[in-house]
Chain A
Amino acid sequence: MSNEDQQPEATVHDVQVSALYQRTRKSEPPASLDAAILAAAHREVAARPQSANASAIFARWRVPLALAATVVLGFSVVTLISQYQEPTDKIHIAMVEMAPNENSVLKQQQEIAPPRAVESDRPMQESVAQFSDAQTAPAAPSIRELPKKSARLKEAKTNTDARVALVQPLESEITDRLSKPEPTTPPIQESRRDFAPSGAVEKKAQSEEVVADLARDKAEQAEAVEPHAPVKNQTTSNSQDAARVMPEENTRAEKAANPSAAMAGVGAADRHFERQRQAPSLAKEASKIKPIGLWLKEIAKLRVDGRIQEAAQQLQQFKQAYPDVPEEKISTSLAAYEREFREGDKVHTLPENDNGKK
């Protein structure tokens, strides 16, 4: 076989055999058959003279027409898809545009304060700065971070756990400061008048007590919230916030301990005074979204510790914030929490996350 493949193609056509075969080519179709076939061909042409043209035209333009139709369909589909996508893009753009506007409201709230601060008299500012540095130092960083945290809250609206984790540290800090029987944030104007420069030593001692109380309350909150699984992020964020806040608190406490250093910074006093003025409104807003369970637990803790007046004050604020919660439920929950605290067991689960439901 391989030898035959190597033979040249000329050998396939044998000249002698071909010549011999040519001599046999005498057979021809009969004339009648020729006539019948030719007649059939002529009849066909007479019957349909133009049919071939139409089919030939169709055959010639079939591929270009198919390509054109494909292009037109593809363009139409792309156009339709882009039209459907436009509304969603507009919504997205609108949402993006809305976000800075909401933040700007908070910024405006911060910007409202300076003129009022400027109105106040200098000596009073200097004296108050010394106290406010010590008293409101822990709240100041939280207020400064409020726009960021509020933005994070908006992003986490769809996720309830994330919302709780973000809101609770902030609101607990602010409400703690509000709920203190000692110089609280709302009567700052009064405190400015009450604490004159002459009583600097007294103010120092009070500010040290405030800082200590804040640290103790934070530790208690962290203990109370730690076992709850969904709020684990909250505890970490809380501790992170505390880590962020505490150094400043310490430095401010040191400032308060050193009157000369505190008196030197009049500008710093102005800034802190502004923060003091902003704190009440923001704290009130935050206290409205404080979880019911956590708040009741704090009240129960105060009762167990023997701080009856504080507990009553907290309970009053709670009722103002949540007027719809029935008395029976409040008393039942408080009794349950008190029993748990007295037994010494930690509360591992909150009875009900009412904030999430609301």
Chain B
Amino acid sequence: MQAYCAGSAQAFDVLYQRHRGPLYRYVCRQCHRSSVDEIYQDIWLKIIKARSAYQATAKFTTYLYTIARRRLIDHYRSQHRHETAVYDESEDEDAVSVAGPVQIEPEYSAASTQTLDHLLEEIERLPPAQREAFLLQEEAGMSLTEIAVTLDVGVETVKSRIRYAIDKLRKRLVDYA
């Protein structure tokens, strides 16, 4: 990103190829299909316009997904959907009740397309706070600390959200099987 700020257009090409897939999927998992392209393009245009004011205070991944998260929140507000990234405690309490030691069947390794679709549906049904934490870990490959910085919460909170998300997914996959 610093090379692109210095005037290298090729540096942006490399940067874009590295983050295009994960960012696109991160947006896809959290909003309606019809809005994904628009939101995705807006995120990158914001980064391009912010080139002159960019300061390398953190990893570019953190910077990129912070912008993406804010754009999604704006999208939620514009669509009057109140499923913003606000952490919902009641969802966690429900998750505690369902969470527990779950044995995943061996046949999951050879899951069918239906199972994968079911997994994506379950991810979409996750509470927004747990979903975005899970996606940041799986798609962006962030550590717990980086996720905490991006979401502006504590590390333990992030850990808890991811744990709840995984437990729910495992439980629902077992139920589906």
Interface size class for chain B?
35 or more
**Is A97 close to B, CB under 8 A?**
no
Q: Which of A30-38, A116-124, A183-191, A278-286 contacts B (4 or more CB under 8 A)?
A: A30-38
**Is B63 close to A, CB under 8 A?**
no
**Is A101 close to B, CB under 8 A?**
no
Interface residue total, chain A, C-beta cutoff 8 A:
43
Query: Is the contact region of chain A dominated by helix, strand, or loop, or is it mixed?
Result: helix
Are A29 and B109 in contact, CB atoms less than 8 angstroms apart?
A: no
Are B20 and A27 in contact, CB atoms less than 8 angstroms apart?
A: no
A/B pair count, beta carbons within 8 Å:
117
**Is B37 close to A, CB under 8 A?**
yes
Which of B49, B116, B119, B159 has a CB less than 8 Å from the CB of A12? B159
A11, A30, A52 — most chain B CB neighbours (10 Å): A52
Residue of chain B at shortest CB distance from A51: B52
**Is B64 close to A, CB under 8 A?**
no
Q: A12-B159, A12-B166, A29-B20 are in contact. Are A37 and B44 (CB under 8 A)?
A: yes
Q: A25-B25, A29-B24, A30-B37 are in contact. Are A38 and B13 (CB under 8 A)?
A: yes
B10 to A: closest C-beta gap in Å? 9
Q: A16-B104, A29-B37 are in contact. Are A41 and B137 (CB under 8 A)?
A: no
Whole-angstrom distance between the alpha carbons of A44 and B163 in the complex? 42
Q: A23-B111, A29-B40, A30-B37 are in contact. Are A40 and B45 (CB under 8 A)?
A: yes
Are B4 and A28 in contact, CB atoms less than 8 angstroms apart?
A: no
Which of B7, B16, B28, B160 has a CB less than 8 Å from the CB of A4? B160
Residue of chain A at shortest CB distance from B159: A12
> Residues on B close to A: CB < 8 A?
4-9, 12-13, 16, 20-21, 24-25, 28, 37, 40-41, 44-45, 48-49, 51-55, 96, 99, 104, 108-109, 111, 115-116, 119-120, 123, 137-139, 144, 156, 159-160, 162-163, 166, 169-170, 173
Which of A24, A48, A53 has a CB less than 8 Å from the CB of B116? A24
A66 to B: closest C-beta gap in Å? 16
B165 to A: closest C-beta gap in Å? 9
Are A12 and B163 in contact, CB atoms less than 8 angstroms apart?
A: yes
Which of B4, B169, B173 has a CB less than 8 Å from the CB of A41? B4
Across-interface contacts of B111 in A (CB, < 8 A): 20, 23
Residue of chain A at shortest CB distance from B12: A41
Are B119 and A52 in contact, CB atoms less than 8 angstroms apart?
A: no
Across-interface contacts of A45 in B (CB, < 8 A): 4, 7-9, 12, 51
Whole-angstrom distance between the alpha carbons of A16 and B71 in the complex? 31
Across-interface contacts of B12 in A (CB, < 8 A): 38, 41-42, 45
Whole-angstrom distance between the alpha carbons of A91 and B173 in the complex? 93
Whole-angstrom distance between the alpha carbons of A52 and B24 in the complex? 27
